[in-house]
Amino acid sequence: MIKKITLSLATVLLIGATSLSAATYGSVDGEQITDQDIATIIRDPRVKFNTLPANQQKQVIQQLVEKKLLTKKALQSGIKSTKAYKDAIKKLEKEIALEIWMQEQFKKIKISDAQVKKFYNDNKSKFKQPEQFKARHILVKTSSEAKNIIKTLDKAGNKLAKFIELAKTKSTGPSGPNGGDLGWFDEKRMVPEFANATKSLKKGTYTKAPVKTQFGYHVIYLEDKKPASTVSLKQATPKIKQILTQETFRKNVKNVADSMRKKSKIVIK
Protein backbone atom coordinates (compact mmCIF):
# COMPACT_ATOMS: atom_id res chain seq x y z
CA MET A 1 0.00 0.00 0.00
CA ILE A 2 1.21 3.47 -0.75
CA LYS A 3 1.47 5.85 2.13
CA LYS A 4 -1.33 8.36 2.39
CA ILE A 5 -0.46 11.60 0.65
CA THR A 6 -0.28 14.32 3.27
CA LEU A 7 0.14 18.01 2.71
CA SER A 8 2.86 20.03 4.35
CA LEU A 9 1.81 23.05 6.36
CA ALA A 10 2.88 25.27 3.48
CA THR A 11 0.63 23.37 1.06
CA VAL A 12 -2.32 23.55 3.44
CA LEU A 13 -1.87 27.30 3.68
CA LEU A 14 -1.53 27.64 -0.09
CA ILE A 15 -4.71 25.70 -0.78
CA GLY A 16 -6.52 27.35 2.11
CA ALA A 17 -5.72 30.76 0.70
CA THR A 18 -7.55 29.89 -2.50
CA SER A 19 -10.64 28.48 -0.78
CA LEU A 20 -13.71 30.62 -1.36
CA SER A 21 -15.92 28.67 1.01
CA ALA A 22 -13.79 28.74 4.15
CA ALA A 23 -15.75 29.40 7.34
CA THR A 24 -14.54 32.40 9.35
CA TYR A 25 -14.33 32.85 13.13
CA GLY A 26 -13.09 36.40 13.46
CA SER A 27 -10.23 38.53 12.23
CA VAL A 28 -6.94 40.13 13.26
CA ASP A 29 -6.32 43.59 11.81
CA GLY A 30 -8.72 42.72 9.00
CA GLU A 31 -7.21 39.28 8.25
CA GLN A 32 -9.83 36.57 8.58
CA ILE A 33 -9.48 33.60 10.95
CA THR A 34 -10.72 30.67 8.85
CA ASP A 35 -11.36 26.97 9.28
CA GLN A 36 -8.17 26.42 7.27
CA ASP A 37 -6.24 28.33 9.95
CA ILE A 38 -7.87 26.22 12.63
CA ALA A 39 -6.82 23.02 10.84
CA THR A 40 -3.16 24.08 11.13
CA ILE A 41 -3.54 24.37 14.91
CA ILE A 42 -5.56 21.21 15.60
CA ARG A 43 -3.47 19.10 13.15
CA ASP A 44 -5.89 16.17 13.32
CA PRO A 45 -8.62 15.87 10.66
CA ARG A 46 -10.62 13.58 12.96
CA VAL A 47 -11.09 16.40 15.47
CA LYS A 48 -13.85 18.82 14.54
CA PHE A 49 -13.50 22.33 15.94
CA ASN A 50 -17.25 22.79 16.42
CA THR A 51 -17.43 19.67 18.62
CA LEU A 52 -14.73 20.89 21.03
CA PRO A 53 -15.75 22.28 24.44
CA ALA A 54 -16.15 26.07 24.49
CA ASN A 55 -12.98 26.61 26.52
CA GLN A 56 -10.90 24.57 24.04
CA GLN A 57 -12.40 26.44 21.09
CA LYS A 58 -11.40 29.68 22.81
CA GLN A 59 -7.83 28.41 23.31
CA VAL A 60 -7.53 27.50 19.62
CA ILE A 61 -8.78 30.92 18.53
CA GLN A 62 -6.40 32.67 20.93
CA GLN A 63 -3.47 30.63 19.56
CA LEU A 64 -4.42 31.75 16.07
CA VAL A 65 -4.68 35.39 17.14
CA GLU A 66 -1.18 35.16 18.63
CA LYS A 67 0.14 33.39 15.53
CA LYS A 68 -1.25 36.04 13.19
CA LEU A 69 0.12 38.86 15.33
CA LEU A 70 3.58 37.29 15.47
CA THR A 71 3.48 36.58 11.73
CA LYS A 72 2.69 40.24 11.12
CA LYS A 73 5.62 41.22 13.33
CA ALA A 74 7.92 38.84 11.44
CA LEU A 75 6.93 40.29 8.07
CA GLN A 76 7.37 43.85 9.33
CA SER A 77 10.90 42.97 10.51
CA GLY A 78 12.11 42.55 6.93
CA ILE A 79 12.62 38.79 7.31
CA LYS A 80 11.63 38.23 3.67
CA SER A 81 14.83 39.90 2.48
CA THR A 82 17.11 37.51 4.38
CA LYS A 83 19.02 34.66 2.74
CA ALA A 84 17.54 32.14 5.21
CA TYR A 85 14.02 33.12 4.18
CA LYS A 86 14.76 32.98 0.46
CA ASP A 87 16.45 29.57 0.79
CA ALA A 88 13.49 28.23 2.74
CA ILE A 89 11.05 29.49 0.09
CA LYS A 90 13.02 27.72 -2.66
CA LYS A 91 12.91 24.48 -0.70
CA LEU A 92 9.18 24.82 -0.06
CA GLU A 93 8.52 25.50 -3.74
CA LYS A 94 10.08 22.16 -4.65
CA GLU A 95 8.17 20.29 -1.95
CA ILE A 96 4.87 21.88 -2.91
CA ALA A 97 5.47 21.20 -6.60
CA LEU A 98 6.09 17.50 -5.86
CA GLU A 99 3.09 17.15 -3.59
CA ILE A 100 0.66 18.80 -6.00
CA TRP A 101 2.09 16.87 -8.97
CA MET A 102 1.62 13.60 -7.09
CA GLN A 103 -1.95 14.53 -6.23
CA GLU A 104 -2.65 15.29 -9.88
CA GLN A 105 -1.22 11.91 -10.93
CA PHE A 106 -3.39 10.19 -8.35
CA LYS A 107 -6.54 11.95 -9.60
CA LYS A 108 -5.89 10.82 -13.18
CA ILE A 109 -6.16 7.13 -12.30
CA LYS A 110 -9.42 5.48 -13.34
CA ILE A 111 -10.23 1.90 -12.37
CA SER A 112 -12.64 0.03 -14.66
CA ASP A 113 -15.40 -2.35 -13.60
CA ALA A 114 -13.52 -5.12 -15.42
CA GLN A 115 -10.42 -4.52 -13.28
CA VAL A 116 -12.51 -4.60 -10.12
CA LYS A 117 -14.21 -7.85 -11.12
CA LYS A 118 -10.90 -9.52 -12.01
CA PHE A 119 -9.35 -8.54 -8.67
CA TYR A 120 -12.41 -9.84 -6.84
CA ASN A 121 -12.35 -13.19 -8.65
CA ASP A 122 -8.59 -13.56 -8.22
CA ASN A 123 -8.74 -12.83 -4.49
CA LYS A 124 -11.93 -14.49 -3.29
CA SER A 125 -10.30 -15.61 -0.04
CA LYS A 126 -9.75 -11.97 0.97
CA PHE A 127 -13.47 -11.33 0.95
CA LYS A 128 -14.54 -14.17 3.21
CA GLN A 129 -15.92 -13.08 6.57
CA PRO A 130 -15.71 -15.53 9.49
CA GLU A 131 -18.59 -16.23 11.83
CA GLN A 132 -19.36 -13.11 13.86
CA PHE A 133 -20.58 -12.83 17.44
CA LYS A 134 -22.21 -9.98 19.36
CA ALA A 135 -21.69 -10.56 23.05
CA ARG A 136 -21.38 -9.04 26.49
CA HIS A 137 -19.27 -10.21 29.38
CA ILE A 138 -18.73 -9.68 33.07
CA LEU A 139 -15.14 -10.02 34.26
CA VAL A 140 -14.35 -10.72 37.91
CA LYS A 141 -11.29 -11.85 39.85
CA THR A 142 -12.55 -15.12 41.35
CA SER A 143 -14.55 -18.16 40.31
CA SER A 144 -16.89 -17.74 43.29
CA GLU A 145 -17.79 -14.19 42.21
CA ALA A 146 -18.61 -15.46 38.72
CA LYS A 147 -20.74 -18.30 40.14
CA ASN A 148 -22.73 -15.86 42.28
CA ILE A 149 -23.38 -13.71 39.22
CA ILE A 150 -24.63 -16.76 37.31
CA LYS A 151 -26.99 -17.65 40.21
CA THR A 152 -28.37 -14.11 40.17
CA LEU A 153 -28.96 -14.33 36.41
CA ASP A 154 -30.71 -17.70 36.80
CA LYS A 155 -33.29 -16.07 39.09
CA ALA A 156 -33.82 -12.98 36.92
CA GLY A 157 -36.86 -12.53 34.71
CA ASN A 158 -35.23 -10.29 32.11
CA LYS A 159 -31.83 -11.95 31.76
CA LEU A 160 -30.30 -9.35 29.43
CA ALA A 161 -31.38 -6.37 31.54
CA LYS A 162 -30.02 -8.03 34.68
CA PHE A 163 -26.76 -8.93 32.87
CA ILE A 164 -26.26 -5.30 31.83
CA GLU A 165 -26.96 -4.15 35.38
CA LEU A 166 -24.47 -6.63 36.86
CA ALA A 167 -21.83 -5.76 34.28
CA LYS A 168 -22.03 -2.11 35.26
CA THR A 169 -21.75 -2.83 38.99
CA LYS A 170 -19.57 -5.96 39.14
CA SER A 171 -17.33 -6.18 36.07
CA THR A 172 -13.69 -5.15 36.38
CA GLY A 173 -13.24 -5.06 32.60
CA PRO A 174 -13.14 -1.82 30.54
CA SER A 175 -16.49 -2.69 28.95
CA GLY A 176 -18.21 -2.81 32.34
CA PRO A 177 -19.56 0.77 32.34
CA ASN A 178 -21.11 -0.01 28.93
CA GLY A 179 -22.95 -3.05 30.24
CA GLY A 180 -20.17 -5.40 29.22
CA ASP A 181 -20.84 -4.77 25.53
CA LEU A 182 -18.06 -6.12 23.28
CA GLY A 183 -19.79 -5.35 19.98
CA TRP A 184 -19.28 -7.65 17.00
CA PHE A 185 -16.16 -9.80 16.82
CA ASP A 186 -14.84 -13.05 15.34
CA GLU A 187 -13.15 -15.79 17.33
CA LYS A 188 -9.64 -14.72 16.33
CA ARG A 189 -10.05 -11.46 18.23
CA MET A 190 -10.51 -13.27 21.54
CA VAL A 191 -8.35 -15.62 23.57
CA PRO A 192 -9.21 -19.29 22.81
CA GLU A 193 -11.02 -19.98 26.10
CA PHE A 194 -13.30 -16.99 25.63
CA ALA A 195 -13.90 -17.68 21.93
CA ASN A 196 -14.74 -21.36 22.49
CA ALA A 197 -17.20 -20.54 25.27
CA THR A 198 -18.90 -17.90 23.12
CA LYS A 199 -19.20 -20.27 20.14
CA SER A 200 -20.93 -22.87 22.31
CA LEU A 201 -23.74 -20.50 23.27
CA LYS A 202 -27.10 -20.08 21.59
CA LYS A 203 -28.44 -16.61 20.90
CA GLY A 204 -29.94 -15.09 24.07
CA THR A 205 -28.12 -17.40 26.50
CA TYR A 206 -25.19 -17.06 28.89
CA THR A 207 -22.43 -19.31 30.20
CA LYS A 208 -23.57 -21.53 33.07
CA ALA A 209 -20.03 -21.90 34.47
CA PRO A 210 -17.23 -19.35 34.91
CA VAL A 211 -14.91 -19.05 31.91
CA LYS A 212 -11.32 -18.72 33.06
CA THR A 213 -8.78 -16.80 30.97
CA GLN A 214 -5.53 -15.00 31.67
CA PHE A 215 -7.59 -11.94 32.62
CA GLY A 216 -9.77 -13.56 35.27
CA TYR A 217 -13.20 -15.22 35.28
CA HIS A 218 -15.88 -14.32 32.74
CA VAL A 219 -19.63 -14.70 32.46
CA ILE A 220 -20.58 -14.33 28.78
CA TYR A 221 -23.96 -13.44 27.26
CA LEU A 222 -24.45 -14.01 23.52
CA GLU A 223 -26.81 -11.44 22.04
CA ASP A 224 -26.54 -12.39 18.38
CA LYS A 225 -24.41 -14.19 15.80
CA LYS A 226 -23.84 -14.09 12.04
CA PRO A 227 -22.78 -17.09 9.98
CA ALA A 228 -19.58 -17.05 7.94
CA SER A 229 -20.13 -15.34 4.59
CA THR A 230 -18.45 -13.83 1.55
CA VAL A 231 -18.59 -10.09 0.84
CA SER A 232 -20.40 -9.51 -2.46
CA LEU A 233 -18.71 -7.86 -5.43
CA LYS A 234 -20.95 -4.82 -5.00
CA GLN A 235 -20.02 -4.45 -1.34
CA ALA A 236 -16.32 -4.98 -2.04
CA THR A 237 -16.10 -2.60 -5.01
CA PRO A 238 -15.21 0.63 -3.09
CA LYS A 239 -12.40 -1.12 -1.20
CA ILE A 240 -11.11 -2.83 -4.35
CA LYS A 241 -11.04 0.47 -6.25
CA GLN A 242 -9.07 2.02 -3.40
CA ILE A 243 -6.55 -0.84 -3.44
CA LEU A 244 -6.15 -0.81 -7.21
CA THR A 245 -5.86 2.97 -7.35
CA GLN A 246 -3.10 2.96 -4.75
CA GLU A 247 -1.27 0.10 -6.46
CA THR A 248 -1.53 1.78 -9.87
CA PHE A 249 -0.34 5.09 -8.45
CA ARG A 250 2.66 3.48 -6.80
CA LYS A 251 3.55 1.65 -10.00
CA ASN A 252 3.14 4.74 -12.20
CA VAL A 253 5.29 6.93 -9.97
CA LYS A 254 7.98 4.26 -9.77
CA ASN A 255 8.01 3.93 -13.56
CA VAL A 256 8.51 7.68 -13.95
CA ALA A 257 11.32 7.67 -11.39
CA ASP A 258 13.00 4.64 -13.00
CA SER A 259 12.82 6.23 -16.45
CA MET A 260 14.35 9.48 -15.18
CA ARG A 261 16.98 7.60 -13.21
CA LYS A 262 18.36 6.10 -16.47
CA LYS A 263 18.75 9.56 -18.01
CA SER A 264 20.13 11.38 -14.97
CA LYS A 265 23.58 11.72 -13.50
CA ILE A 266 23.33 10.44 -9.94
CA VAL A 267 26.26 10.61 -7.52
CA ILE A 268 25.95 8.89 -4.15
CA LYS A 269 28.73 9.44 -1.61
Nearest to 180 by CA among 224, 227, 218, 215: 218
Separation CA 206–CA 146 (nearest Å): 12
Count Cβ atoms within 10 A of the Cβ of residue 111 and give its class: 0-12 exposed, 13-18 middle, 19 or more buried.
middle
Please give the Cα distance from 178 to 236 (Å, whole number). Answer: 32
**Residue 130: is its pLDDT beyond 70?**
yes
Helix (H) or strand (E) holding 254: helix 233-263
Q: Which residues contact 120 (CB under 8 A, 6 or more apart)?
A: 127, 233, 236, 240
pLDDT over threshold 80, residue 4: no
Identify the bridge partners of residue 58 per DSSP, sorted by sequence position: none
Digit-coded pLDDT (tens) for 50-96: 888 999 999 999 999 999 999 999 999 999 999 999 999 999 999 99
Read off the pLDDT of residues 148-201 as tens digits, 9 standing for 90 and up.
999 999 999 999 999 999 999 999 999 999 999 999 999 999 999 999 999 999
Output the CA–CA distances (angstroms, integers) from residue 44 to 51, 66, 124, in the order listed: 13, 20, 35
Q: What are phi and psi for residue 224, nearest 5 degrees? A: -160, 165
Q: Which residues pair with 226 in a beta bridge?
A: 132
Cβ 242 vs Cβ 111: under 8 Å: no
The model scores a pTM over 0.85: no
Angle, helices 83-108/9-17, rounded to nearest 10 degrees: 70
**For residues 156 and 146, is the Cβ–Cβ distance under 8 A?**
no
- How many C-beta atoms lie closer than 10 Å to residue 69's C-beta? 13
Overall residue count recorded for the chain in this entry: 269
